[in-house]
Amino acid sequence: MEQIPVSLWTLVAGIVVTAISIWIGHNHSLLPIQASQQAPLVDGFFNIMFTIAIALFLVVEGTILIFLIKYRRRRGDDTDGVRVEGNVPLEIFWTAIPSLIVLGLGIYSVDVFNRMGGFEPGSHPHSVAHVAQMPGTAIAATLNNTSEPTAAPEIGIGASPKTLDKPADLVVNVQGIQYAWLFNYPETGISSGELHIPVGADVQLNLSAQDVIHSFWVPNFRLKQDALPGIPTQLRFVATRPGTYPVVCAELCGGYHGSMRTQVVVHTPEEFDSWLTENQIAQKQDLHQAVAVSESPSWRFPAMENSRTRRANPADLSPSEFLAPHTHNMGIDAATLKSLVKSQ
Protein backbone atom coordinates (compact mmCIF):
# COMPACT_ATOMS: atom_id res chain seq x y z
CA MET A 1 0.00 0.00 0.00
CA GLU A 2 2.61 2.53 1.11
CA GLN A 3 4.72 2.01 -2.03
CA ILE A 4 1.99 3.15 -4.43
CA PRO A 5 2.25 6.96 -4.94
CA VAL A 6 -0.75 9.19 -4.17
CA SER A 7 -0.84 10.52 -7.74
CA LEU A 8 -1.47 7.03 -9.06
CA TRP A 9 -4.28 6.46 -6.56
CA THR A 10 -5.80 9.79 -7.59
CA LEU A 11 -5.62 8.86 -11.25
CA VAL A 12 -7.29 5.49 -10.69
CA ALA A 13 -9.97 7.08 -8.47
CA GLY A 14 -10.56 9.72 -11.16
CA ILE A 15 -11.07 7.11 -13.87
CA VAL A 16 -13.40 5.03 -11.69
CA VAL A 17 -15.47 8.07 -10.65
CA THR A 18 -15.74 9.25 -14.27
CA ALA A 19 -16.78 5.81 -15.52
CA ILE A 20 -19.42 5.33 -12.79
CA SER A 21 -20.81 8.86 -13.30
CA ILE A 22 -21.11 8.53 -17.06
CA TRP A 23 -22.72 5.11 -16.77
CA ILE A 24 -25.31 6.23 -14.17
CA GLY A 25 -25.87 9.53 -16.01
CA HIS A 26 -26.95 7.65 -19.13
CA ASN A 27 -28.62 4.58 -17.65
CA HIS A 28 -30.93 6.01 -15.00
CA SER A 29 -34.68 5.62 -15.39
CA LEU A 30 -35.67 8.90 -13.78
CA LEU A 31 -37.40 10.37 -16.83
CA PRO A 32 -40.56 9.10 -18.58
CA ILE A 33 -40.47 7.74 -22.16
CA GLN A 34 -39.49 10.35 -24.77
CA ALA A 35 -42.31 11.18 -27.18
CA SER A 36 -41.34 14.41 -28.95
CA GLN A 37 -38.50 15.76 -31.07
CA GLN A 38 -37.55 18.09 -28.23
CA ALA A 39 -37.36 15.33 -25.62
CA PRO A 40 -33.88 13.97 -26.55
CA LEU A 41 -32.48 17.53 -26.45
CA VAL A 42 -33.79 18.14 -22.94
CA ASP A 43 -32.70 14.69 -21.76
CA GLY A 44 -29.21 15.13 -23.23
CA PHE A 45 -28.86 18.28 -21.15
CA PHE A 46 -30.33 16.62 -18.06
CA ASN A 47 -28.00 13.61 -18.40
CA ILE A 48 -24.91 15.81 -18.55
CA MET A 49 -25.98 17.72 -15.45
CA PHE A 50 -26.80 14.46 -13.71
CA THR A 51 -23.40 12.96 -14.65
CA ILE A 52 -21.61 15.99 -13.19
CA ALA A 53 -23.76 15.84 -10.06
CA ILE A 54 -22.94 12.16 -9.51
CA ALA A 55 -19.21 12.78 -10.02
CA LEU A 56 -19.29 15.64 -7.47
CA PHE A 57 -21.27 13.50 -5.06
CA LEU A 58 -18.79 10.61 -5.32
CA VAL A 59 -15.76 12.89 -4.93
CA VAL A 60 -17.13 14.81 -1.95
CA GLU A 61 -18.72 11.88 -0.09
CA GLY A 62 -15.86 9.53 -1.02
CA THR A 63 -13.30 11.96 0.37
CA ILE A 64 -15.29 12.33 3.58
CA LEU A 65 -15.43 8.55 4.00
CA ILE A 66 -11.69 8.09 3.31
CA PHE A 67 -10.78 10.86 5.76
CA LEU A 68 -13.16 9.49 8.41
CA ILE A 69 -11.30 6.19 8.36
CA LYS A 70 -7.73 7.24 7.56
CA TYR A 71 -7.53 10.21 9.93
CA ARG A 72 -9.70 8.90 12.77
CA ARG A 73 -8.50 9.45 16.33
CA ARG A 74 -6.36 6.54 17.43
CA ARG A 75 -6.57 5.10 20.93
CA GLY A 76 -4.49 7.16 23.35
CA ASP A 77 -3.88 10.04 20.92
CA ASP A 78 -4.90 13.27 22.67
CA THR A 79 -2.79 15.68 20.60
CA ASP A 80 -4.25 18.50 18.50
CA GLY A 81 -4.75 18.10 14.77
CA VAL A 82 -2.37 19.62 12.23
CA ARG A 83 -2.95 23.37 11.77
CA VAL A 84 -3.79 24.09 8.14
CA GLU A 85 -3.63 27.73 6.99
CA GLY A 86 -5.08 27.49 3.52
CA ASN A 87 -3.93 26.74 0.00
CA VAL A 88 -4.16 29.38 -2.71
CA PRO A 89 -3.55 27.12 -5.76
CA LEU A 90 -6.19 24.71 -4.44
CA GLU A 91 -8.69 27.56 -3.97
CA ILE A 92 -8.09 28.82 -7.49
CA PHE A 93 -8.51 25.27 -8.78
CA TRP A 94 -11.84 24.62 -7.08
CA THR A 95 -13.21 28.01 -8.06
CA ALA A 96 -12.14 27.67 -11.70
CA ILE A 97 -13.55 24.17 -12.26
CA PRO A 98 -17.16 24.98 -11.16
CA SER A 99 -17.01 28.29 -13.08
CA LEU A 100 -16.10 26.44 -16.27
CA ILE A 101 -18.82 23.84 -15.66
CA VAL A 102 -21.51 26.49 -15.09
CA LEU A 103 -20.36 28.49 -18.12
CA GLY A 104 -20.36 25.36 -20.32
CA LEU A 105 -23.81 24.31 -19.11
CA GLY A 106 -25.08 27.83 -19.75
CA ILE A 107 -23.88 27.83 -23.34
CA TYR A 108 -25.17 24.30 -23.91
CA SER A 109 -28.61 25.19 -22.48
CA VAL A 110 -28.92 28.16 -24.83
CA ASP A 111 -28.18 25.85 -27.76
CA VAL A 112 -30.80 23.33 -26.57
CA PHE A 113 -33.37 26.11 -26.11
CA ASN A 114 -32.65 27.39 -29.61
CA ARG A 115 -33.01 23.96 -31.20
CA MET A 116 -36.28 23.44 -29.31
CA GLY A 117 -37.68 26.58 -30.91
CA GLY A 118 -37.45 28.82 -27.85
CA PHE A 119 -35.99 31.77 -29.74
CA GLU A 120 -38.49 31.87 -32.59
CA PRO A 121 -42.00 32.12 -31.20
CA GLY A 122 -44.21 34.10 -33.57
CA SER A 123 -41.45 34.19 -36.17
CA HIS A 124 -43.80 33.92 -39.11
CA PRO A 125 -47.41 34.96 -39.49
CA HIS A 126 -49.65 31.96 -39.72
CA SER A 127 -53.10 32.42 -41.05
CA VAL A 128 -55.53 29.69 -40.24
CA ALA A 129 -58.28 28.73 -42.59
CA HIS A 130 -61.36 28.60 -40.42
CA VAL A 131 -64.12 28.81 -42.90
CA ALA A 132 -66.50 26.19 -41.66
CA GLN A 133 -67.32 23.46 -44.11
CA MET A 134 -70.42 22.42 -42.26
CA PRO A 135 -73.34 24.63 -41.34
CA GLY A 136 -72.98 23.84 -37.63
CA THR A 137 -69.30 24.41 -37.10
CA ALA A 138 -69.27 28.15 -37.51
CA ILE A 139 -71.79 28.52 -34.72
CA ALA A 140 -69.90 26.04 -32.57
CA ALA A 141 -66.69 27.97 -32.97
CA THR A 142 -68.38 31.20 -31.94
CA LEU A 143 -70.02 29.63 -28.93
CA ASN A 144 -66.79 28.01 -27.81
CA ASN A 145 -65.51 31.53 -27.63
CA THR A 146 -62.28 30.53 -29.29
CA SER A 147 -60.14 33.39 -30.34
CA GLU A 148 -58.86 32.84 -33.84
CA PRO A 149 -55.38 34.24 -34.17
CA THR A 150 -54.00 35.37 -37.49
CA ALA A 151 -50.37 35.30 -36.33
CA ALA A 152 -48.50 32.92 -34.09
CA PRO A 153 -48.27 34.19 -30.50
CA GLU A 154 -44.94 35.74 -29.65
CA ILE A 155 -44.38 33.97 -26.35
CA GLY A 156 -43.53 30.31 -25.94
CA ILE A 157 -41.81 27.57 -27.90
CA GLY A 158 -42.09 28.32 -31.61
CA ALA A 159 -40.61 27.04 -34.83
CA SER A 160 -37.29 25.20 -34.56
CA PRO A 161 -34.45 26.32 -36.87
CA LYS A 162 -35.55 23.48 -39.21
CA THR A 163 -39.20 24.57 -39.46
CA LEU A 164 -38.58 28.29 -39.37
CA ASP A 165 -40.16 29.29 -42.66
CA LYS A 166 -42.87 26.67 -42.74
CA PRO A 167 -46.34 26.96 -41.27
CA ALA A 168 -47.30 24.20 -38.84
CA ASP A 169 -49.09 21.09 -40.17
CA LEU A 170 -51.81 21.27 -37.52
CA VAL A 171 -52.97 24.18 -35.37
CA VAL A 172 -54.95 23.53 -32.20
CA ASN A 173 -56.34 26.23 -29.94
CA VAL A 174 -55.95 25.24 -26.31
CA GLN A 175 -57.86 26.98 -23.56
CA GLY A 176 -57.21 26.48 -19.87
CA ILE A 177 -60.19 26.99 -17.56
CA GLN A 178 -60.64 26.12 -13.92
CA TYR A 179 -60.27 23.06 -14.07
CA ALA A 180 -60.00 21.61 -17.53
CA TRP A 181 -58.21 21.90 -20.83
CA LEU A 182 -60.34 22.56 -23.92
CA PHE A 183 -58.97 21.79 -27.35
CA ASN A 184 -60.44 23.37 -30.45
CA TYR A 185 -59.40 22.48 -34.00
CA PRO A 186 -60.03 25.65 -36.03
CA GLU A 187 -59.65 23.93 -39.38
CA THR A 188 -62.34 21.32 -38.72
CA GLY A 189 -64.41 22.92 -35.96
CA ILE A 190 -63.87 19.96 -33.64
CA SER A 191 -63.83 20.57 -29.90
CA SER A 192 -62.42 18.04 -27.48
CA GLY A 193 -61.43 17.56 -23.87
CA GLU A 194 -58.36 15.60 -24.99
CA LEU A 195 -55.60 16.53 -27.41
CA HIS A 196 -55.45 14.25 -30.45
CA ILE A 197 -52.54 14.66 -32.87
CA PRO A 198 -50.87 12.62 -35.59
CA VAL A 199 -47.34 11.32 -35.02
CA GLY A 200 -44.66 13.14 -37.00
CA ALA A 201 -46.79 16.24 -37.61
CA ASP A 202 -45.52 19.72 -36.83
CA VAL A 203 -48.17 20.79 -34.30
CA GLN A 204 -48.74 24.33 -33.08
CA LEU A 205 -50.80 24.86 -29.95
CA ASN A 206 -52.13 28.37 -29.42
CA LEU A 207 -52.67 28.62 -25.69
CA SER A 208 -55.01 30.91 -23.79
CA ALA A 209 -56.57 30.96 -20.34
CA GLN A 210 -60.08 32.01 -19.43
CA ASP A 211 -59.62 32.80 -15.76
CA VAL A 212 -56.20 32.41 -14.12
CA ILE A 213 -52.71 31.30 -15.14
CA HIS A 214 -52.50 27.62 -16.04
CA SER A 215 -49.51 25.71 -17.33
CA PHE A 216 -49.75 23.12 -20.10
CA TRP A 217 -47.27 20.37 -19.33
CA VAL A 218 -46.67 17.10 -21.16
CA PRO A 219 -43.88 15.30 -19.27
CA ASN A 220 -43.31 12.80 -22.11
CA PHE A 221 -42.74 15.68 -24.54
CA ARG A 222 -40.46 17.49 -22.02
CA LEU A 223 -42.48 20.61 -22.83
CA LYS A 224 -44.31 23.04 -20.60
CA GLN A 225 -45.88 26.36 -21.49
CA ASP A 226 -47.97 28.75 -19.39
CA ALA A 227 -51.48 29.63 -20.56
CA LEU A 228 -52.10 33.24 -19.56
CA PRO A 229 -55.36 35.20 -19.44
CA GLY A 230 -55.25 37.89 -22.13
CA ILE A 231 -51.75 37.03 -23.44
CA PRO A 232 -51.60 34.37 -26.15
CA THR A 233 -48.75 31.87 -25.98
CA GLN A 234 -47.74 29.04 -28.25
CA LEU A 235 -46.16 25.62 -28.05
CA ARG A 236 -44.89 24.02 -31.21
CA PHE A 237 -43.58 20.45 -31.36
CA VAL A 238 -43.44 17.20 -33.27
CA ALA A 239 -44.62 14.04 -31.49
CA THR A 240 -42.41 11.09 -32.34
CA ARG A 241 -44.08 8.11 -30.71
CA PRO A 242 -47.72 6.97 -30.94
CA GLY A 243 -49.35 6.48 -27.55
CA THR A 244 -51.35 8.17 -24.82
CA TYR A 245 -49.53 10.56 -22.51
CA PRO A 246 -50.68 12.62 -19.53
CA VAL A 247 -51.29 16.38 -19.77
CA VAL A 248 -50.87 18.08 -16.42
CA CYS A 249 -51.65 21.62 -15.28
CA ALA A 250 -48.36 22.67 -13.71
CA GLU A 251 -49.44 26.02 -12.24
CA LEU A 252 -51.40 26.04 -8.98
CA CYS A 253 -54.66 27.46 -10.31
CA GLY A 254 -57.21 26.92 -7.57
CA GLY A 255 -58.93 24.38 -5.35
CA TYR A 256 -59.12 21.56 -7.88
CA HIS A 257 -55.81 22.26 -9.63
CA GLY A 258 -54.74 18.69 -8.85
CA SER A 259 -57.57 17.30 -10.96
CA MET A 260 -56.77 19.50 -13.96
CA ARG A 261 -55.43 16.66 -16.04
CA THR A 262 -56.21 15.20 -19.39
CA GLN A 263 -54.24 13.32 -22.01
CA VAL A 264 -52.67 13.72 -25.39
CA VAL A 265 -53.29 10.87 -27.80
CA VAL A 266 -50.62 10.57 -30.48
CA HIS A 267 -52.16 8.67 -33.41
CA THR A 268 -50.75 7.19 -36.56
CA PRO A 269 -51.81 9.44 -39.47
CA GLU A 270 -54.57 6.97 -40.51
CA GLU A 271 -55.96 6.75 -36.97
CA PHE A 272 -55.93 10.52 -36.74
CA ASP A 273 -57.89 10.89 -39.96
CA SER A 274 -60.57 8.51 -38.76
CA TRP A 275 -60.69 10.32 -35.40
CA LEU A 276 -61.24 13.60 -37.28
CA THR A 277 -64.01 12.12 -39.42
CA GLU A 278 -65.74 10.45 -36.47
CA ASN A 279 -65.73 13.60 -34.40
CA GLN A 280 -66.89 15.88 -37.16
CA ILE A 281 -69.91 13.64 -37.63
CA ALA A 282 -70.51 13.23 -33.88
CA GLN A 283 -70.33 16.95 -33.18
CA LYS A 284 -72.58 17.79 -36.08
CA GLN A 285 -75.20 15.50 -34.52
CA ASP A 286 -74.65 16.93 -31.06
CA LEU A 287 -75.08 20.40 -32.42
CA HIS A 288 -78.44 19.57 -33.94
CA GLN A 289 -79.58 18.06 -30.66
CA ALA A 290 -78.22 21.02 -28.77
CA VAL A 291 -80.12 23.52 -30.86
CA ALA A 292 -83.30 21.69 -29.93
CA VAL A 293 -82.55 21.91 -26.18
CA SER A 294 -80.73 25.17 -26.12
CA GLU A 295 -80.62 25.52 -22.35
CA SER A 296 -79.08 22.14 -21.59
CA PRO A 297 -75.75 22.57 -19.79
CA SER A 298 -73.91 20.47 -22.36
CA TRP A 299 -74.74 23.08 -24.96
CA ARG A 300 -72.35 25.49 -23.38
CA PHE A 301 -69.51 23.02 -23.52
CA PRO A 302 -69.73 20.91 -26.61
CA ALA A 303 -66.01 20.34 -26.00
CA MET A 304 -66.86 17.87 -23.30
CA GLU A 305 -69.15 15.93 -25.56
CA ASN A 306 -66.90 14.06 -27.88
CA SER A 307 -65.74 11.55 -25.34
CA ARG A 308 -69.42 10.53 -25.27
CA THR A 309 -69.40 10.73 -21.49
CA ARG A 310 -71.51 13.73 -20.69
CA ARG A 311 -69.35 15.80 -18.43
CA ALA A 312 -70.55 19.20 -17.30
CA ASN A 313 -68.32 22.23 -16.98
CA PRO A 314 -66.47 21.71 -13.66
CA ALA A 315 -66.89 25.40 -12.84
CA ASP A 316 -70.67 24.97 -12.74
CA LEU A 317 -70.60 22.14 -10.22
CA SER A 318 -70.84 22.48 -6.47
CA PRO A 319 -67.82 21.10 -4.56
CA SER A 320 -69.70 17.96 -3.54
CA GLU A 321 -70.91 17.33 -7.08
CA PHE A 322 -67.38 17.77 -8.40
CA LEU A 323 -65.85 15.47 -5.79
CA ALA A 324 -68.52 12.75 -5.98
CA PRO A 325 -66.78 10.53 -8.56
CA HIS A 326 -63.49 10.74 -6.66
CA THR A 327 -64.87 9.95 -3.22
CA HIS A 328 -66.11 6.64 -4.52
CA ASN A 329 -62.51 5.45 -4.47
CA MET A 330 -61.94 6.79 -0.98
CA GLY A 331 -64.79 4.94 0.72
CA ILE A 332 -66.78 8.08 1.51
CA ASP A 333 -70.50 8.08 0.72
CA ALA A 334 -72.46 11.00 -0.70
CA ALA A 335 -74.06 11.99 2.62
CA THR A 336 -70.71 12.19 4.43
CA LEU A 337 -69.27 14.22 1.61
CA LYS A 338 -72.11 16.69 1.72
CA SER A 339 -71.68 17.25 5.44
CA LEU A 340 -67.94 17.59 5.01
CA VAL A 341 -68.27 20.23 2.33
CA LYS A 342 -70.92 22.10 4.31
CA SER A 343 -68.82 22.22 7.44
CA GLN A 344 -66.00 24.05 5.68
Minimal distance in Å, beta carbon 262 to Cu ion? 11
Minimal distance in Å, beta carbon 307 to Cu ion? 19
| C-alpha distances out from residue 244 to 37, 226, 267, Å | 16, 22, 9
- DSSP secondary structure code for residue 234 in this structure: E
- Complex with Cu ion: residue 224 or 338, whichever CB lies closer: 224
CA distance 46 to 29: 12
H or E element, residue 128: none
- Complex with Cu ion: residue 207 or 253, whichever CB lies closer: 253
Are 321 and 313 in contact, with CB atoms under 8 Å apart?
no
Minimal distance in Å, beta carbon 311 to Cu ion? 17
Q: Which residues in 204-233 contact Cu ion (CB under 5 A)?
A: 214
CA distance 178 to 212: 8
Residues 6 or more apart whose Cβ sits within 8 Å of residue 324: 334, 337
Minimal distance in Å, beta carbon 214 to Cu ion? 3
Minimal distance in Å, beta carbon 156 to Cu ion? 17
- Complex with Cu ion: residue 21 or 178, whichever CB lies closer: 178
Q: Which residue from 39, 128, 207, 260 is in contact with Cu ion, where contact means CB under 5 A?
A: 260
- Complex with Cu ion: residue 48 or 249, whichever CB lies closer: 249
Q: Which residue from 195, 247, 253, 287 is in contact with Cu ion, where contact means CB under 5 A?
A: 253
Minimal distance in Å, beta carbon 322 to Cu ion? 14
Are 253 and 214 in contact, with CB atoms under 8 Å apart?
yes
Burial of 144 (0-12, 13-18, 19+ CB in 10 A): middle
Q: How many CB atoms lie within 10 A of CB 100?
A: 10
CA distance 209 to 216: 10
The length of the chain in residues reads 344
Q: Which residues in 167-186 contact Cu ion (CB under 5 A)?
A: none
Q: Per-residue x/- mask for Cu ion, residues 233 to 252, rule CB under 5 A?
A: ----------------x---
153 three-class SS: coil
- Complex with Cu ion: residue 168 or 264, whichever CB lies closer: 264
Minimal distance in Å, beta carbon 179 to Cu ion? 6
Question: Applying CB under 5 A, does 256 fall inside the site for Cu ion?
Answer: no
- Complex with Cu ion: residue 140 or 218, whichever CB lies closer: 218
- Complex with Cu ion: residue 172 or 287, whichever CB lies closer: 172
CA distance 303 to 312: 10
Residues of this chain that interact with Cu ion (CB under 5 A) are 214, 249, 253, 260
